[in-house]
Amino acid sequence: MSLRRKTLAVGIKIEPVIIFTSDGVVCTACAIELPSDSRFEVKQHIESREHLKSCKLQKIRDIIKLMWEVQRLCSYEENLMYSGQEREGMPKSPKARKESSKGEREEGRMSEEGLNLFRKSSRTERSPNRSEEENQSKEMDKEMKTTMIREMREEIKTLRKELAAVREENGELRKELATVREEMRGREEKGQLEKADWMKRMKKIEEKMEQREKKERKNNVIITGIGAISGNIERGVEEWLEREIGVKVNVKEAFKINKDKIMLAKIESWEQKKNIMLNDDLTKEERETQKKLRELSREERDAGKIGYRKIQINGDWFRWDERQEKLKKIF
């Protein structure tokens, strides 16, 4: 530590003093030295750092107050030196004015240095052993912080690598999921196509079955009110048709539907069936009327206006479309 010495305009010297004792305790002292001719010397010691902690703030204030008192005495002495010149009306010399302004500046600096002296002394009064321990402690703290920072950085790097691996794995899973979705979509579309194809096939099969059933039923007739028939049913139906309506046909098969009231007969050909038109059980007068109507309808059929599942309207032929459930023009 560098020691500074201040000298006032009147020759007062203020000097910091550091004392190293035999037991390694550092003491600080402040010496204020006046000119030798004034025979006035003031010394104030501040003991070791341990004692400085126990000292009251009042002692420090007393020291600063004493220093200010010395400065005031010095200023008073300086004023006495130039009081004779002022009483005679003589202006101060430039040197005196310069020294006066310098003394004021030194006084301000002195007050600041008096305070800073004790602040700086708190740094110098540490023992070498304690300073080394504190330095070692600081170095250890610094090393610990450096180690912790290094470990944290390594851990962050590891976490970043793991995060990158997880992101890559997620990307692969997304690709696999997209592939599965595409496959499912393709299968679904294929399934829909297959389903539509099967529906078409089933529709065609149903149409074929319906056509076959219609073809089988095309030559069938339902006879009501025929009564009971003994013996061969087919021969009995043929005789009844010839006797009742005067039509001779060949019956391939006949059987009862509802006991003795309704009979189903399969005629051998469509041409034979066209000559038959039967209703429910009728009276004799009703059968005569129905016979005349059959003759008229036969004439119309022979004229070509009515056919099997078709009809002629205003010269155009129409067929009943079961899918659309309406008449469809055919030619």
Q: Which region among 4-18, 210-224, 306-320 has the lowest average model confidence (pLDDT)?
A: 4-18
Q: Which region among 33-42, 91-100, 288-297 has the lowest average model confidence (pLDDT)?
A: 33-42
Query: Rounded to whole angstroms, what are the CA distances from 293 to 39, 279, 307?
Result: 173, 12, 17
For 281-309, what is the mean pLDDT? Answer: 60
Does 186 score more than 80 pLDDT? yes
Does 160 score more than 80 pLDDT? yes
For residues 233 and 254, the answer to whether their CB atoms sit within 8 Å is yes
What tokens were used for 46? Answer: 């501040």
**Residue 61 dihedral angles phi and psi, to the nearest 5°:** -65, -35
Which residues on neighbouring strands pair with residue 312, listed in sequence order?
A: 317
Query: Rounded to whole angstroms, what are the CA distances from 185 to 1, 178, 179, 181, 263?
Result: 87, 10, 10, 6, 57
The pTM of this model reads 0.30
Q: Which residue has the tokens 């400065």?
A: 71
Distance, in Å, from the CA atom of 248 to the CA atom of 184, rounded to the nearest integer, reads 67
241 versus 322: the higher-pLDDT residue is 241
Residues above pLDDT 70, as percent of the chain? 47
Of 16-25, 206-215, 222-231, 252-261, highest mean pLDDT: 206-215
Q: What is the DSSP letter of 272?
A: H
Does 104 score more than 70 pLDDT? no
CB neighbours of residue 239 within 10 Å: 14
What pLDDT is stored for residue 28 in this prediction?
45
For 13-23, what is the mean pLDDT? Answer: 45
pLDDT digits (tens, 9 = 90+) for 197-222: 888 888 888 888 888 877 777 788 88
For residues 13 and 32, the answer to whether their CB atoms sit within 8 Å is yes
